[in-house]
Structure 1
Amino acid sequence: MEDRPLTLVARDLRKTFRRDTGEAVEALAGISLEVRKGALTALVGPDGAGKTTLLRLASGLVAPDSGSLEVVGLDVSAEPQAVQDRIGYMPQRFGLYEDLSVQENLDLYADLHGVTGARRAEIYPRLFEMTQLGRFKQRPAGKLSGGMKQKLGLACTLVRAPELLLLDEPTVGVDPLSRRELWEIVFKLIREDGLSVLVATSYLDEAERCAHAVLMHAGKILAEGPPAEITAKAEGCCFLVKGPQGLPARSLQARLFALPGIVDAVPEAGRVRVVRQPGQLDTALEIAGLSLDTEPVEPRFEDAFMMLFDSVAEERARVSHGTIVAGGSGPHGETVVEVHDLVRMFGDFTAVDHVSFSVRRGEVYGLLGPNGAGKSTTFRMLCGLLPATGGTLKVAGADLLRAGAKARARLGYVAQKFSLYGQLTVDENLEFFASAYGLRGSGKKDRIRALKNDFALENLSDLPSGQLPGGFKQRLALAAALLHEPDILFLDEATSGADPIARRQFWGRITALSEQGVTVIVTTHFMDEAEYCDRIIILDAGKNLAEGTPLEIRQQAAMSDETAPSMEEAFIAIVERERLKRTEKAA
């Protein structure tokens, strides 16, 4: 790849922004980078690393404070419009017009970019074929699934055949099947058209498939090169650890992650995958008084990513078990959610089709499924936000069809999108929601103080919540949801778009809550997060396809050659198998 010409060259690039408070934030601190033509390059890093800033500079939307930046052979600062005419940029929130149809959105972007009728006749059929949106030309964009919206956004970006494609978190909030389809389109364009692509992503498995990966932190580049070279940095440092009988993998994970010398720990098929600093695993286990079976395994790109960040990141928030004051009163094992033959109709369309399951106190239960599977509808009914058409639904001992308000008073909810008030400070948000939950006087003050301490928010009291880094937004949203000490906590794609470090911190807190008896029901498109669940259910077309522990789900999808599938591979295999059965039955 080294002999390929360059499509982007950055030299000592710097950019500083100022918050409303006047505080200076250095987004890029002397970045130097080369992106090769006809290749896929990934920008990887935690919130605030500078990935989006770099993409915005490359697209000519923002000017650097100093340094030089050439894109497709042009000086971006001197000729931003000329650069924009030759590249495509798909930001995190791509501007689709939801009242316009698929065809009308595509036509609008073609008009904006001056694409001729002859060129449209040439490129439209290919775009519709690649995105599989041809059958939905007249459907309003607002009625598309999340994955289809992303594919339409990509098609609108590609309508003028750019030389360089800039993608900022293109698969956030997209299910694994749609994510795979989106990347098939990108790889096809690279392979057949020689398109150059620079992508910022939170999915480390996506970065692992790129030709070149750039790891960023605090506006600087930590490491770059082919993913295999970066992965090799974790050689000899990765293990699978099995805990004592009866100890959930997520509980062992939280304990291991808090140990000195341990870089990373994540649940994996009932065990915990551990990454250690060189020579530190046995010492860490000895200090903790743990006697565990350990098995060395080959490193992954994600393991090396975590090792590099452990060496430079500030002390990570490691949650001590039992520190978070929560609700969850009552005996563990008691059934607190009962769903039987649940049905939800929208006109003639059946979104949820006779789904049944139950959840026990203190359990972490996952609702998984592709976009449009019915999981969000099920989730909304569980929260009391949407009435069921049929079946029975009991939450916290209350029938939601008859006593929704009573049941909702015992629920906490963290939404996919940051749902607090961005103009209000951290303290003002907590004060507002505490009052809304009926907390008063010294009880309210004590509860807010305890949660700010638990979530390390004390030093951010006066900062508007909209200006918080992504990881701290999650902390604040979770703290607000816990103010009234709910028995059941609902997490709706709560870590969507978060980097791996922030997600591990988040799940450490969820583990601490579940051990205090709080029941957690979660939807997620991160299949590795399903490993934190005691049990999961996979839905598609409104029906229950599979239910069980993460290990049982993997076993249901085991390959014929006895290769153990990853959770994502198992999810895709189960959904595709059931869809094939439906197709054959319909035929």
Structure 2
Amino acid sequence: MTDARSLPVEIRNLRKTFRGPDGKPFAAVDNLSVVLPEPGAIVSLIGPDGAGKTTLLRLLAGILTPDDGEISLFGKKPDTDDPDFVAMLGFMPQRFGLYEELSVWENFRIFGALRGIREKALEARFRDLMTLSGLRGFESREAGKLSGGMKQKLGLSCSLLAEPKLLLLDEPTVGVDPLSRRELWRILRDMRDRTGMTVLVSTAYLDEAEAADRTILISSGRLIAEGDPKALARETQGRTWLARARDERRTLPLARTLMREVRAADPRAPWLDAVPHGDAVNLLAPEDAVDAPRELPDGAALSSRTPALEDAYCALTFPLAAKTDALRILPPAYSVEEPDAVVARNISRRFGSFTAVEDTSFSVKKGEIFGLLGPNGAGKTTTFRMLCGLLPASGGTISVTGSDLRTARSTARAKVGYVAQKFSLYAQLSARQNLEYFGACFGVAGRQLEDRIEELTTGSDLGERLESITRELPLGAKRELALACALIHRPAILFLDEATSGADIAARRAFWRRIVGLAEAGTTVIVTTHFLEEAEYCDRFLIQDAGRVLTLGTPSEVRKETGASSIEEAFISIVTRARRNREEAENQS
């Protein structure tokens, strides 16, 4: 029998309440009980937006005090004034507080001093963690000048300085490219194997959660499921299907047809989930579905498939999701006469002596969903901002809806909608006032504006929160508001910069059903994303690194280029090969 004092995590009837924007209290963690009995395990914490994951981790770290219930971590109660507790615990919040104006080594010295690690021991651990994290050679680089993935690795390394017994990580891979995500997980596993530490990590990536030893799923602060992720996945056996078009070129149209049949909160819908995956479409049937439909659009064939943790997550949480499928989708108000909505010819962008984008050319067809993919620091955000007219190109030409951005920028931007990664909203205004402001900016006013707000918000969570102050909105509602503001003038082109970063699956699925509807109505969509499965929704996409385009094509063409079964596999193969070739060329010169 396991000694209770050795249990890594023991939570009994935990409750934490906050006061909401309406003044009423709500339970972020609600009578939650869970025990992690095995030391040395990597445990994933998953759940929808607002599930209480961050609150739970802060309670465990001693940053918040529970209103009720008990917490025991290796027999200790969370207490930041207890040196033994502080020494035992490592915690990396979503926004790790690096000192960006200081070097990598200087950051280590500060965090080492806070942990009471002496100079010689600190230097030894610094060398080990530099090697483990792949940051060797960047010791003198300012933290603020590191790429997003390297910042996350530095933050994780600082959390590992004291070799904690228990490590808590709050979504460490949000906004991080697949290569960096893979590196972060390698660091975690290597450190776990070396020290035997227990890891509790929240994540929005279900493939990461499935690779853990154990999974905890919570929603609205309550425990929904807990256990071996493979065992949880098997709970959906018999409900998981694969639809495959006879012609692989019809995979994307098939996926979009099946997506229209999804109503995540409606048990009467044919499918609870439909998502393109490789050269097929993954389907999840509702719980009460006895048999899957025998006939599918486009003469597609249906076969059963092995369930994954993602299926269990969807089955358990989608019935709790809000409906967002009732929103009206209208065609763009601006016509694009040319077959190509965007044309970039030999564009480049330099910042001093540094070239972020070099000699890049591509075009985006009218009504197409086009993706810009690449690792952190690849130049895709710079490319994206040049296309939007937010950043002038150092060289080359860009045409948007037939207007040259050098000579007619205002004309082009009037036909464009833009959703920034951090949502360019006015926090002190209400949701309605934000919509009215953006409408006025684009000449939408009076009855036309009122009708447009109703079209964009009726049937969604946002429709019930229009009078709420924007800073008090939950993340999902802010995401809906940012999209609604970008669509207020029915633009010809919609730019989406990491718009689903940090979103849970239900929100991402609903978001993409809407984006697909917009494209089918004639809106051109250009998107950047680190969720590479979202590239499967694109008609075409490009992958770039070090400011250069590595490949451009349809999802099928890019997968075939490397023989990969998924976009993520193809992405890693293409970027790794290009970097290896670049290193070889540099060594020879």
Which interval holds the TM-score relative to the shorter structure?
over 0.9
| Conserved 8 A contact 2:174-2:502 | yes
What is the CA-CA distance between 1:298 and the residue it aligns to?
Answer: 1.3
Q: 3-state DSSP class of the match of 2:8?
A: strand
Say which of 317, 327, 332 aligns to 1:327: 332
Distance 1:104 1:403 in 2: 47
Alignment of 1:313-462 (within 5 A): 313-319=320-326, 323-327=328-332, 329-330=334-335, 334-453=339-458, 455-462=460-467
Instruction: Write out per-residue CA displacement over residues 424-473 of structure 1, whole angstroms, 9 at most, x where no aligned residue.
Output: 22112212222222322222222222222264422112222222222222
| Conserved 8 A contact 1:12-1:67 | yes
What is the CA-CA distance between 1:81 and the residue it aligns to?
Answer: 6.1
CA, structure 1 residues 72+423, in 2 after alignment: closer, same or farther (shift >3 Å)? farther
Distance 2:150 2:132 in 1: 12
Partner of 1:135: 137
What is the CA-CA distance between 1:128 and the residue it aligns to?
Answer: 0.9
| Conserved 8 A contact 1:40-1:211 | yes
Distance 2:132 2:178 in 1: 17
Partner of 2:72: 70
Instruction: Write out per-residue CA displacement over residues 268-302 of structure 1, whole angstroms, 9 at most, x where no aligned residue.
Output: 2343210112563856677x988642122211111
Partner of 1:565: 565
| Conserved 8 A contact 1:343-1:391 | yes
Distance 2:382 2:339 in 1: 25
CA, structure 1 residues 310+189, in 2 after alignment: closer, same or farther (shift >3 Å)? same
Distance 1:271 1:189 in 2: 37
Uncovered stretches (5+) of structure 2, i.e. residues with no partner = none
CA, structure 1 residues 471+208, in 2 after alignment: closer, same or farther (shift >3 Å)? same
CA, structure 1 residues 283+569, in 2 after alignment: closer, same or farther (shift >3 Å)? closer
CA, structure 1 residues 228+422, in 2 after alignment: closer, same or farther (shift >3 Å)? same
| Conserved 8 A contact 2:257-2:297 | no
One-letter amino acid matched to 1:99: E
Alignment of 1:209-358 (within 5 A): 209-242=211-244, 248-258=253-263, 260-278=269-287, 280=289, 292-311=300-319, 313-319=320-326, 323-327=328-332, 329-330=334-335, 334-358=339-363
Distance 1:111 1:81 in 2: 14
| Conserved 8 A contact 2:321-2:506 | no
Alignment of 1:521-540 (within 5 A): 521-540=526-545
Partner of 2:547: 542
Distance 1:383 1:281 in 2: 49
Q: Indicate whether 1:37 and 2:39 are aligned.
A: yes
| Conserved 8 A contact 2:326-2:458 | no
One-letter amino acid matched to 1:526: F
Partner of 1:497: 502
| Conserved 8 A contact 1:285-1:291 | no
Q: How many residues align?
A: 578
Distance 1:77 1:130 in 2: 30
Q: 3-state DSSP class of the match of 2:530?
A: coil
Partner of 2:174: 172
One-letter amino acid matched to 2:579: R
Partner of 2:102: 100
One-letter amino acid matched to 2:282: R
| Conserved 8 A contact 1:146-1:371 | yes
Distance 2:166 2:23 in 1: 35
CA, structure 1 residues 316+84, in 2 after alignment: closer, same or farther (shift >3 Å)? farther
What is the CA-CA distance between 1:404 and the residue it aligns to?
Answer: 1.3
Distance 2:414 2:205 in 1: 36
| Conserved 8 A contact 1:332-1:362 | no
TM superposition outliers: structure 1 runs of 4+ over 3 Å: 1-5, 77-82, 242-247, 281-286, 288-292, 328-333
Instruction: Write out per-residue CA displacement over residues 169-198 of structure 1, whole angstroms, 9 at most, x where no aligned residue.
Output: 000000000111111100001111111110
Alignment of 1:107-146 (within 5 A): 107-146=109-148
Distance 1:80 1:483 in 2: 53
Distance 1:279 1:290 in 2: 26
CA, structure 1 residues 481+198, in 2 after alignment: closer, same or farther (shift >3 Å)? same
One-letter amino acid matched to 2:147: S
Partner of 1:89: 91
| Conserved 8 A contact 1:328-1:361 | no
What is the CA-CA distance between 1:82 and the residue it aligns to?
Answer: 4.6
| Conserved 8 A contact 1:261-1:281 | no
Partner of 1:574: 574
One-letter amino acid matched to 2:203: T
How high is the TM-score relative to the length of structure 2? 0.93
Distance 1:488 1:244 in 2: 32
CA, structure 1 residues 406+232, in 2 after alignment: closer, same or farther (shift >3 Å)? same
Partner of 1:205: 207
Partner of 2:516: 511
Partner of 1:561: none
Q: 3-state DSSP class of the match of 2:272?
A: strand
| Conserved 8 A contact 2:365-2:524 | yes
Distance 1:360 1:328 in 2: 17
Uncovered stretches (5+) of structure 1, i.e. residues with no partner = 559-563
Instruction: Write out per-residue CA displacement over residues 534-572 of structure 1, whole angstroms, 9 at most, x where no aligned residue.
Output: 0010001111111111111111111xxxxx422111110
Q: Indicate whether 1:18 and 2:19 are aligned.
A: yes
Distance 2:292 2:337 in 1: 34
Distance 2:484 2:255 in 1: 21
CA RMSD across the alignment = 2.3
Q: Which sits farther off after the overlay, 136-145 or 261-270?
A: 261-270
| Conserved 8 A contact 1:328-1:516 | no
What is the CA-CA distance between 1:328 and the residue it aligns to?
Answer: 5.8
Q: Which sits farther off after the overlay, 358-367 or 275-284?
A: 275-284
Alignment of 1:480-495 (within 5 A): 480-495=485-500
One-letter amino acid matched to 2:72: E
| Conserved 8 A contact 1:416-1:493 | yes
| Conserved 8 A contact 1:44-1:215 | yes
Instruction: Write out per-residue CA displacement over residues 303-362 of structure 1, whole angstroms, 9 at most, x where no aligned residue.
Output: 121112235x14533356xx2234164479821111111111222222112111111111
| Conserved 8 A contact 1:495-1:503 | yes
Distance 1:204 1:235 in 2: 18
| Conserved 8 A contact 2:378-2:546 | yes
What is the CA-CA distance between 1:253 and the residue it aligns to?
Answer: 3.8
One-letter amino acid matched to 2:285: R
Distance 1:244 1:462 in 2: 50
Q: Which sits farther off after the overlay, 543-552 or 438-447?
A: 438-447
| Conserved 8 A contact 1:327-1:516 | yes
Q: 3-state DSSP class of the match of 2:224?
A: strand
Distance 1:253 1:355 in 2: 35
What is the CA-CA distance between 1:244 and the residue it aligns to?
Answer: 8.7
Distance 2:325 2:289 in 1: 18
Distance 2:216 2:363 in 1: 44
One-letter amino acid matched to 2:393: A
Percent of residue pairs bearing the same amino acid type: 47
One-letter amino acid matched to 1:309: T
What is the CA-CA distance between 1:509 and the residue it aligns to?
Answer: 1.0
Distance 2:480 2:513 in 1: 12
Q: 3-state DSSP class of the match of 1:95?
A: coil
